[in-house]
Each structure stands twice: as structure tokens, then as C-alpha cells.
Amino acid sequence: ICRDVNMALMGGAKESMIGKHFLVHVGYAISEISEEESEETMRLLKIMAGLEEIDSLESESQ
């Protein structure tokens, strides 16, 4: 996922930050995270998104 992110809380945007992973909340980077943590977070978010779709389909069928 690519988004514009305000890096001010991380000390400002720096070329050394390119390719790194950050926890972002309401458009602000609030913490640097590992690639593994980033991948696990994305995996869990995809699972949750799938569950929401299932809930939506079940609601429509009732």
C-alpha cells in the first residue's frame, strides 16, 4: 500500500527511511516496525477484511 504520510513525528522525511516500514495512524508515521511485523499486520488485516465481507453477505441474505 502506498500513501502520503507525514513523517514529522519520526524526525522528518529522510532518504534513509525509504524502503522501511512504519506504523501509520491518521496519516502520521508513529513508529518504525520490522518487515516481519508489517507482513503479519497486513495478513491479519486481510483476514479481518474477509470476515467483514462474510458478515455483510450474511446480513444481505436475511
The pLDDT-based confidence of 10 (bands split at 50, 70, 90) is very high
Domain residue ranges of the chain, discontinuous segments joined by +: 8-61
DSSP state of 9: G
- Supply 60's cell numbers: 444481505
- The mean per-residue pLDDT over the stretch 24-45 comes to 94
Per-residue burial over 32-61, b if 16 or more Cβ lie within 10 Å, else e, is ebeeeeeeeeeeeeeeeeeeeeeeeeeeee
The pLDDT-based confidence of 17 (bands split at 50, 70, 90) is very high
